[in-house]
Every structure is written in structure tokens, then in C-alpha cells.
Amino acid sequence: FSSQNYIQKSINDPQLTIKDVKQRLSEIMGVRKGFSEPPNRSNLLQYLPETQDELPFRSMKDSFVTALIPLSTDRILQDKYMTLMGNVRKGRLLEDMDIFAVWTCVKYINNPKMKADEFFPYSIVTAAVNQITFKGWPCKVTDDMRISGQVQWVGKTSLEICVWLESFISNEWKLFAKAYFIMVARNSTNTTGAFVNKLKPEGADEEETYAKAKERMERRHLGKKKSLLTSHPTEIEQRIIHEMYMKTIDLNDPTLNRRILPDNSVWIESTKVANMIFPHPEDRNSHNTMFGGLLMRLSSELSWIIATTYGKQRPTLRHISDITFKSPISINSFVQFEGQVVYTELNYAQILVHCELLDIMTNKMFTTNVFNYTYEYKGVLQNVVPQTYREAMMLLDGRRHFQKVM
């Protein structure tokens, strides 16, 4: 059932639901039921191309795929997706968007060397999420949702996937969220990259979409070069930090060893919230590591707690920018999520969440994922003030993310 024909037939089903996507993706990848070591997929290496030129060109329309989230009729699904206010949990949607980006990659890849009696010889992993933008209105859990995906840029082994969500309101589909995932195709044993089809845009619309995707990739690479982890802050940023520092000096007793909190402000350190989890087999992907969509959901839920307690009201999540996936997390790990408000401007707050892996033998933490969230409030917020140079860099980085999405 795992031939190229089966894959295309499974994906092109017009009645496909998100539940079907998850089930069929497991079948295509050869995922076993129950918990066990991942199957030996080394025999599939022979079906991978040695060069990209062995694969036929593909267009964007070749990759387009859509599925339904039938919330209006599935009461069990409603319970899973529903918030206390009767809206859809955005964290659940993040899980769906991540797995749908994988599904879109499967739709796009066309490898003539694949055999009818073998599983899909690729492993698709999430490398990063460039940006996720949400509309300001809430999505009711009683309204059906439609999830769609399309490849918009391709390198040798990497792909940019646009995934968007629509809600069926007043007899029409309305855009609710859009995201850009950076996916990487790996070989069947997940040990090195695997070539994917070159993308050949067809028509003016695809040419324009491709050009915009290429610009996003170039901005992403430029952003890494100018990162505060590798470069000095700009002159303007240095002046911002110094001015903030001067506001913490007690003018009645000016000294370098004592600081005061300015009016209408809080220390960044005081906004920090953390929790730790122990993953279970149900949280695994086909590689027996933690499912990336689950990390996104847990991180977003922690960010919402931080945002709500900080602003003392229910905020609206508007953007998630530059999610990075540095390394996989084994399901026998202790995983810590730590977040805090790092920047505020008028009625917006920027929240940074780190996902870290605890080495129980050395008691050291290793960062595996970084998430940046932008929340909107109904009133002007208090300012956050750094006490250390590290916190000052976090504030400047948060300011950069805010300016990027707003």
C-alpha cells in the first residue's frame, strides 16, 4: 500500500480529515503500533537518488493539499480542541500545522525509484518555523476548519512549506492563521540529507510566490549573521540599554552598586515561569523522539500563562516568529520549558520561551528549541527592565522580533 500511487491517492482524497492525515502518514512511513524500537529502514536507502537531477521537476500546484478538521460534527474532537471560552485551542492547531507540513512534503516529493511494495524512503523533519500569524478574532470550536499546505521554495534537501488555516463562518471560509515551515528531507535512517525534486514555478502567480519565499530565506540567513549571539548591538540598541539603565539609578543616592525600579515597570526576572515534563510513548514521532508539534503546543500554552499573569487579562496571540529546532528530544528525557516577558511596547508584549533538555548525570541544561511570541492587550502595559547584560540582550532580541512581525 506504500507505493507512489498509494501515496498520491491517499493525499488527493477530497474527504480527507486531519485524523486521516495522521493515520495515513503513519502507514506510509511504516510506523508500528505500540511502543518499540523504530523499524530498521536501511533497506530503503537504495531507493533514494544520488543527485537532484535524477528527480523530475515539480510545480507548486503539484504540492497543494488540503484536509478538514470537522469540529461542527465531531463532539470528541470539540472536547480536544476547546478552550474554557468555547474557542479553539491554538496549541492544538500548532500540532496540526506541523504534521501537515510533513504531509505536504510527502505530496510534493516524486521519486521514480520508489517501489510499490516498500515504505516511503524519506524522513521529513522540521528545522524551523519562520513565522506564524494569527488573525485577531477568536475561532469557535463549533465551526469547521480547513487546513491547507503548499511548497513555495526548495533547495537541495530543504523546503519551505506554507500552511494556512481557515474557519467556516457564515457559509464562507475565512483565513485564521498562516505559517511558513522550513522542512528538511533526510534519508530513511535519518542520518544525512536526501535530495528532493527541484521546484519549477509555473505562471506569474507561482513566480511571484517563489520570489517572496526566496526573500524570506535570504532575510533569515541575514538575520543569523546579525544575531546578538554573534554580533554587537547596534548604536541605537546600545543607547536604548544605557537609557534604561540610567532610569534605574537613584538620583538621591547615585551609585553603581544599587538600582531602583522605575515607575510603571517590572524586572524581567520577575516575569519568569518554568515547568518540567517527562515525555511518554504517546508523545513520540516515527523516530521515537518527541513530536515537534507537541513542543510547539506546550511552549505556546506556557507563553499564554505568562502573558495572562503579566497583563492581568486575557491577551490575544498575534504572532509566533523564528521557532528553531536545534536537536531532537528522546522520549526518555526530562524537558524544561522556561519563559518570560522580554519586551513590551504600548499594548504588546514579546515573550521568549526556551525548551531545554536536562542531563540528569551532570545536571546541565541544553537548549533544544527557542520560541518567540507576540501578544496583544486591550491597554498599555508596564515596561520590563533588565538587571543583567544577558537580560538586556534578551530585551533587544525581543525588540527585533517585535519589529519584524509588526
Task: Quick: pLDDT tens for 82-120.
Answer: 988 888 999 999 999 999 999 999 999 999 988 877 888
Model confidence at 330: pLDDT above 80: no
Angle of CA points 68, 318, 396, to nearest 5°: 140
Model confidence at 3: pLDDT above 50: no
pLDDT digits (tens, 9 = 90+) for 291-322: 788 899 999 999 999 999 999 999 999 999 88
Helix (H) or strand (E) holding 23: helix 18-29
| Burial of 299 (C-beta count, 10 Å sphere; 0-12/13-18/19+) | buried
Share of the chain above pLDDT 70, in %: 94
Q: What pLDDT score does 2 carry? A: 38
Instruction: Note the helical H segments in 34-111.
Output: 60-63, 75-81, 90-108
Question: Treating both helix axes as pointing N-terminal to C-terminal, what angle do 18-29 and 90-108 enclose, rounded to 10 degrees?
Answer: 50
The rounded Cα 265 to chain-centroid distance in angstroms is 31
Residue, of 12 and 354, whose pLDDT is higher:
354
Least confident span in 14-18, 236-240, 253-257: 253-257
Global pTM value:
0.88
Rounded CA separation 131/223 (Å): 14
Q: To the nearest whole number, what is the mean pLDDT of the chain?
A: 88
| Burial of 190 (C-beta count, 10 Å sphere; 0-12/13-18/19+) | middle
Residues found in the chain = 406
Q: In the structure grid, which three cell numbers stand for residue 221, read together?
A: 540567513
Whole-Å CA distances, 230 to 23, 94, 133, 233, 304: 43, 30, 28, 10, 30
Rounded CA separation 194/186 (Å): 5
Q: Which residue has the cell 495572562?
A: 308
Q: What is the C-alpha R_g of the chain?
A: 23
Whole-Å CA distances, 261 to 17, 39, 246, 361: 53, 57, 11, 39
Largest CA distance in the chain: 81
Rounded CA separation 342/223 (Å): 19
* Residue 31: pLDDT band with limits 50, 70, 90: confident
In the chain, what are the domains?
3-216 (3.10.129.10), 229-404 (3.10.129.10)
